[in-house]
Amino acid sequence: MGDILIPGAGNFPSFSEYNCIEHVDDLLSYAPAEDVKDLGMVLMLLSFLPKALLVKLIKILGGSPKKKGGISTLLRQLNMGIRGIVFSLYYSEKPGTGYSGTDPEKMIGFTLNRVRD
């Protein structure tokens, strides 16, 4: 799903090229265990879908903020969850091992201001 959302273009690496998925456990360590379990179940079910259906699902999820109703609420939550994880990993300043190119956040001039207590 990461490569569907971030396929790579120009000098920007695709999600899989950047290999940032290695750091997903760091990101999910802040989530409640029950949420991580539910996410794992959803992703396991989605893993059986062919890529064409995943692309269609991503488009449906992307359009969910414009719709009203019960199912749209669930689709919005799934959209935020999946996009949140994918984009947080991609712009985390943490490439995976084996990636030797320029980090995406450096390409766009992004800097994270960390506040330390």
In a domain, 8, yes or no: yes
- Split at pLDDT 50, 70, 90, the class of 109 is confident
Which residues constitute the domain of residue 30? 2-107
Task: Please report whether residue 113 resides in a domain.
Answer: no
11 assigned to some structural domain: yes
Question: Is residue 112, in this structure, part of any structural domain at all?
Answer: no
CA nearest 3: which of 109, 99, 103, 90? Answer: 90
Q: Is 116 within a domain?
A: no
- pLDDT of res. 13: 95
Q: How many domains does the chain have?
A: 1
Of 13, 2, 23, 1, nearest to 97 (Cα)?
A: 23
- pLDDT for position 115: 85
Confidence of residue 16 (pLDDT cuts 50, 70, 90): very high
Do the domain assignments include residue 115? no
